[in-house]
Structure 1
Amino acid sequence: MRNALGQAVEWHVRLHDSQADATDQAAWQTWLEADPRHAEAWQRLERLQRRMHGVPAELALPALEQAGQRRRSLLKGLALFAGLGTLGWQGYRLSPLSVDHSTAVGQRLSLTLADGSRLELNTETRVNIRFDAGQRLVHLLAGEIFVETAHDPRPFKVQTAQGETLALGTRFSVRQQDGLTRVAVEQHAVEVRPRLAPGQVQRLEAGQQMTFSAERLGTLQAAPDDASAWTRGLLVVIDWRLGDFIEELSRYRPGYLGCAEAVAGLRVSGAFLLDDSDAVLANLQASLPVEVRRFSRYWARIEALPGG
């Protein structure tokens, strides 16, 4: 993955060079589709740029430095974004990074598509929409969507780096993760097909979910009752590890939000407002033996109380 990340950074620089042309973009597309690890690395690079969008330059690098060793390998990639300037930003809007619809960290977006279907975009989500005479296609490049399909004779599909989800008159969510796609069905059913194993097909009924890779299907599981609570601005958890809860909450908060291993095993239950993560952190501090250590408004870490 490290080698793929390095290649992704090199492609990003190449695409934003003033001499870049259609040949470079075609070569980038070939590289992107040659290996699932390439698509995953590109998504990680995009996600880093989006997460730091809006963070003041004088705070962005210190925040990442404090985030820990796992993020240090991406720091050089961030420096490339910082050097783009106005011309680089204009190039970004015209590059393959530009999409039909997107959300930044902490944002959500509700859309009504041309066929009447409803599409909800969660935080840090990027989609392209391609409707034609033969199909209705939503290409999920990053993040998470919730779909409520309208009646139409054309098939409705969601494509990710790992494969395809075919709606069978339904309400469902699709989340693009690092190297994996997770699908959860709220109503009716869907069929999923891994990109590199199209002969494998799995039908998911209402109340079921599955995580799959480009090579193989995962195991059918029961979907959480509140899997789509984010569409109502809520994060609903029942007996979650604090570490897992903070990791999920960090998707909705710009900068770095982490959890010390010493308190990661504490349990959390409740319904939390996604639009006010500061209030969520205050609630945790009031109800658990933890404190919130802040370096700036863009860096926070949950730690054990001193002497606890």
Structure 2
Amino acid sequence: MAQPLDYQTLEAAASWYVQLNAAPPSDAQMQAWQQWLEQNPAHVQAWTRVEKLQQQFSRLPSDVALPTLAGVRARRRAVLKTLAVLLAAGCSTWAVRQSPVGQTFMADLRTRTGERREFRLKDGSQLTLNTDTAVDVDFDADLRLLKLHNGEIRVQTASDPRGRPFIVQTAEGRIRALGTTFCVRSEQGRSTVSVQAHAVEVRPAEQPLQALRLEQGQSVRFDRQQIEAALPMAPGSDAWTQGMLTVIEWRLGDFVNELRRYRPGVLRCAEGIADLRLSGAFRVDDSDTILENLGASLPVRVRYMTRYWVSIEPA
């Protein structure tokens, strides 16, 4: 039977995760990690928790997977953030429910990494959840409210005989539908809204008097304090609803960051090839084929350390 894991063991597992995920590991690092695993069955148990969260739920902090961690402080913050997730996964049901991770796991509607789901809400509105998304639905006599904890949704609102406003709330603020079809994405302290039909009204959480009316064909990003300038909606920005990722002259590094949302496990891109450019339409339900095509069309090599640990490197 598995034994309870102590803080030091979980911290070590978090540290190894950040170390191996912040930059392509050397053979020496991989050997040292393997030796750490073999030192104690508790180390394997702790690493199994890391893999379970990464593969099944993809709830480890996404910023620790970026190749931009620099310095002791940045790395330490990433370790502590990962450790918090691991601790939350092993604590009581009540405590998990109060944590961001728990809000995701116990949300009314959610998707796993790579999964996409459609729902018809009780007012007749259509809701589509993209990969790794968690939403609570809170409809009452006065308000139709969706709480987007993380991820991305597309909403096609239905008219309401009682005239209740339709609101999507993220950590960054609120989006009020004005008889519309729109997408909302929330991640890393920013929300992005794009409008496919009619209009919405956007208000930051800490500046509720600041409001922006966003029209059809427009997109905007905002955080808790301010709204950026509205821009034309990028072509293919809602292609994910059809299981597609459409890009035009994207950096490879940005493309891999986006693809990481749809693929369980670790997916990295070496800094030396991150500025390569690519365009095309890719089916996100088959990320293995996407990686195979990258290796065939760009001067890169796709290296599989395991099924869930992939690195894109210079050819």
TM range (shorter): 0.7 to 0.9
Structure 1 residue ranges without an equivalent (≥5): 1-8, 10-47
**TM-score (ref. length: structure 2):** 0.72
| Change beyond 3 A, Cα 1:251–1:219 | same
1:90 positional shift: 9.4
Mapped contact 2:88–2:95 kept (Cα < 8 A):
no
Shift of the 217–93 alpha-carbon distance from structure 1 to 2, 3 Å rule, reads closer
Q: Check the 8 A contact 2:107/2:134 in 1, yes or no.
A: yes
Q: Counterpart in 1 of 2:168?
A: 158
Residues 302 and 202 of structure 1: is their aligned pair in 2 closer, same or farther, counting only changes over 3 Å?
same
2:263 is the alignment partner of 1:253? yes
SS across alignment from 1:200 = coil
**Paired position in structure 1 for 2:110:** 102
Q: Deviation of residue 257 (structure 1)?
A: 0.7
CA contact (8 A) 1:184 1:208 kept: yes
SS at match of 2:225: coil
What residue in structure 1 maps to residue 129 of structure 2?
A: 121
Alignment match, 1:209 = 219
The aligned amino acid for 1:298 is Y
- Give the match for residue 189 of structure 1: 199
After TM superposition, give the deviation of residue 187 of structure 1 in Å. 0.8
The 8 Å contact of residues 51 and 254 in structure 1, kept in 2 or not, is answered as no
C-alpha distance in 2, partners of 1:49/1:187?
40
Structure 1: distance between partners of 2:115 and 2:154: 14
Deviation track 1:191-237 (CA, whole Å, cap 9, x = no partner) reads: 00111111111011111010011111111111112111101000010
Structure 2 gaps of 5+ residues are 1-9, 11-49, 70-74
Deviations 1:259-308 (A, max 9, x none): 11111111111110111101000000000000011111111111101xxx
CA shift for structure 1 position 104: 1.1
Secondary structure at 2:192 match in 1: strand
Percent sequence identity is: 46
Q: Tell me how far apart the structure 1 counterparts of residues 88 and 207 of structure 2 sit (CA, whole Å).
A: 36
Pairwise CA RMSD: 2.8
Structure 1 residue 67: Cα displacement = 7.8
Instruction: Spell out the pairing of 1:85-96 with structure 2 (5 A cutoff).
Output: 92=96
1:54 aligned counterpart, secondary structure: helix
**Contact 2:253–2:275 (CA under 8 A) maintained in structure 1:** yes
Change (3 A) 1:233 1:282: same
**Matched-pair contact (CA < 8 Å) for 1:50–1:124:** no
| TM-aligned CA distance change 1:72 to 1:233, over 3 Å | same
Question: Secondary structure of the residue that 1:127 maps to in structure 2?
Answer: strand
| Partner of residue 231 from structure 1, selected from 230, 241, 262 | 241
**Does the 8 A contact of 1:102 with 1:124 survive in 2?**
yes
Q: Is contact 1:136–1:155 with CA below 8 Å preserved after alignment?
A: yes
Q: Give the paired residue count.
A: 249
**TM norm structure 1:** 0.74
Q: Give the conservation status (yes or no) of the 8 Å contact 2:251–2:276.
A: yes
